[in-house]
Structure 1
Amino acid sequence: MLRNKLSISLISLLASLLTCEQASARLYDDVMASGHIRMGVYENFPPYSFIREGQPTGVDVEVARRIAQAFGLELQLHWITPDEGLEDDLRNNVWKGHYLDKDEANPLAMKQLADVMLRVPYDKAYAYKQDSLGYLINEQVVMTAPYQQEKWQVAYDGQRLDAVRTVAVFQYEPIGVEVDSVPAFYFTSAMGGRMREMTHHYPNPETAFKAMKQGEVAAVMAMQSEIDWWLHQAGDKRYRLAENGFPTMGKQSWDIGIAIRQSDRQLGYAVEEVLDRMIQNGDMEKLFAEYGLRYTKPEFYQVMMEADAER
């Protein structure tokens, strides 16, 4: 009798947990019927998504608003705390959830997931990456709808450097980078490590840029939009954009798109239509310009423009 009661209790618990997981993952019809859409954006990540004067702001926050408006839905922001890697972020926020991230109203249930996650690198090789057994690592999500191309950028202090025509200058002049980032790895390993001693590490691009203003470093390297943002905030022509490339770095530009659950491609298609319309009619470029940022269309649109020009 006791064993039967325990079995029934276990089955009930498993069923309730399953119900909680299913309640967290919503399909297209659920989203439209609910009256709201949850858009995943990274927290404290200017100029993309952050809080300013108590209000959510940033390029991705505004993109999320435009998507919600296009569907006639209320926007609910799902703030994402970065984990160790993109795979963890996708798992924790798009298709499964983190077991420690509980709903305060219901301690047995995980918090609801994002319906759509923004600022996801759009790369087919990564999307179809396999583990050692040949299984797709990201089989639970679909990465689609590129809406921006991002790249690495250097800004420098024009009172210390006349120009930055080659990264070789950073054998002699200090440069600030975000710790554990691609720029950090590049400047500590490229050119046989000859720039390592001149590479200064900071918690984020904002502190690196502040260090340049205070004279600690002569330049900063981060993503183009981040550099544009801090130059725009500084409003000082003393700080300039470098035009050099980064030899031996490998991939120096990449597309940014969205991630949705594998089980809800219909929602992904609907969001893709909104983003495509914003790109085609120039709204996306205007939005970036409002934040003082340059906008580069994703590779697909660039190829399409080149094909049209050849006709």
Structure 2
Amino acid sequence: MRLLLLLCWLLCLPMAQAQVRPFDDILASGVLKVAVYENFPPYSFQQDGQPRGVDVDLAGRLAEGLGLKLELLWVTPGEKLDDDLRNFIWKGHYLRPGVLADLMLRVPYDREFANRRNDVGELANEQVVMFGPYQRERWQVVHDTRRLPEVDTVAVFREHRIGVELDSVPSFYLSSVLNGQLRAKTEHYPSTAAAFTAMREGKVDAVMALRGELDWLQHGAADPQLRNADNAYPNLGQPAWDIGMAVHESNRQLANAVDGQLEELIESGALEKLYAGYGLRYELPGLYQDVQ
């Protein structure tokens, strides 16, 4: 009977509530908890058991600048960014009850998205502050010049096969642009790395993906015959966008402190060097381009 009562009591306990740590508590703890996406090279991944990636290194520099140690929270993306912000910044995930990050990286920095409202007119992410743009990202095509010397327009993919990650923006784009004329030559793979490998094996002549991912893969391949296409993508809604950070709306003091550290890293050129260490081109976010 005692065991039965104990089990009933445990089942009735509420799930542990995730608590947002105020800035003073973060400083007192000596630790900054930062959420980064797992298995997402070159941004955040593990290699030989060690955390690596530009976001991992940036998080470490930010924590160091605040006099704190870095604690990484490896997260998997949900179906929407709203899910990730809810799970890791303000509410918590049911698989990780009571666990929240102080700071989340690789959050699109977009005023329109930040001010988006739900069906009843309330801010959809009112419990989140999105700030600190630190990089401009864009879509890129890489082609093997041995089989495809030039990519003057995406129309060349009427005749040449191109690889994309399944269910990605390039996948939907190439399957629909030009009235679907490129669909038959668009090959789908489980990841950008798999599509890139297919290109190196001659199964496709080009790959379309995030520029950072392709820079990283090209850096590892060290093949001068693999080149970046320099062309526009007609009817692609957002070919480039800024990447930033997020904190809970009650933690603007942390956001201000991180912003100060970030500005120093950008203006000193340290962040550009960090990206170059992974073979990535670094493009300033719009906020900093506007003041140059």
TM-score by length of structure 1 reads 0.89
Residue type matched to 1:215 in 2?
G
Q: What secondary structure, in the 3-state scheme, does the structure 2 residue paired with 1:135 have?
A: coil
- Of residues 172, 190, 194, the one that matches 1:185 is 172
**Partner of residue 54, structure 2:** 59
Shift of 1:21: 2.1
Query: Is residue 140–residue 208 contact of structure 2 (8 Å, CA) maintained in 1?
Result: yes
- Of residues 254, 263, 282, the one that matches 2:250 is 263
**Partner of residue 287, structure 2:** 300
| 1:198-251 C-alpha deviation (Å, 9 max, x unpaired) | 111111111110111111110001111111000001011111111011011121
**Partner of residue 36, structure 1:** 31
Runs of 4+ off more than 3 Å: none
Query: Is residue 17–residue 98 contact of structure 2 (8 Å, CA) maintained in 1?
Result: no
Is residue 2:66 matched to residue 1:71? yes
- Of residues 222, 232, 245, the one that matches 2:232 is 245
Q: Percent identity?
A: 52
Residue type matched to 2:40 in 1?
F
- Of residues 7, 10, 21, the one that matches 2:17 is 21
How many Å separate the matches in 2 of 1:268 and 1:237?
A: 42
Residue type matched to 1:282 in 2?
G
- Of residues 213, 219, 222, the one that matches 1:232 is 219
What is the RMSD computed on CA atoms of the aligned residues?
1.4
- Of residues 254, 263, 268, the one that matches 1:281 is 268
Query: Is residue 91–residue 97 contact of structure 1 (8 Å, CA) maintained in 2?
Result: yes
How many Å separate the matches in 2 of 1:300 and 1:38?
A: 26
- Of residues 131, 135, 140, the one that matches 1:148 is 135
How many Å separate the matches in 1 of 2:64 and 2:28?
A: 15
Query: In the TM superposition, what are the counterparts of 1:115-194 in structure 2 within 5 Å?
Result: 115-194=102-181
Q: What secondary structure, in the 3-state scheme, does the structure 2 residue paired with 1:257 have?
A: strand
**Partner of residue 208, structure 2:** 221
**Partner of residue 209, structure 1:** 196
How many Å separate the matches in 2 of 1:292 and 1:273?
A: 26
Shift of 1:71: 1.2
Could you say which structure has the higher helix fraction? 1
| 1:84-134 C-alpha deviation (Å, 9 max, x unpaired) | 1111111111111112x13xxxxxxx1421100000000000001111211
Query: Is residue 25–residue 112 contact of structure 1 (8 Å, CA) maintained in 2?
Result: no
How many Å separate the matches in 1 of 2:55 and 2:215?
A: 15
Shift of 1:135: 1.1
Query: Is residue 35–residue 74 contact of structure 1 (8 Å, CA) maintained in 2?
Result: yes
How many Å separate the matches in 1 of 2:93 and 2:182?
A: 39
| 1:259-306 C-alpha deviation (Å, 9 max, x unpaired) | 10011111011111111110011001111001110000000111111x
How many Å separate the matches in 1 of 2:233 and 2:184?
A: 18
Structure 1: which 5+ runs fail to align? Answer: 1-8, 103-109, 306-311
**Partner of residue 196, structure 1:** 183
How many Å separate the matches in 2 of 1:119 and 1:67?
A: 14
Query: In the TM superposition, what are the counterparts of 1:90-105 in structure 2 within 5 Å?
Result: 90-99=85-94, 101-102=95-96
- Of residues 76, 80, 100, the one that matches 1:81 is 76
Residue type matched to 1:133 in 2?
V
Query: Is residue 93–residue 99 contact of structure 2 (8 Å, CA) maintained in 1?
Result: no
TM-score by length of structure 2 reads 0.94
Residue type matched to 2:108 in 1?
P
Shift of 1:161: 0.7
Shift of 1:13: 4.6
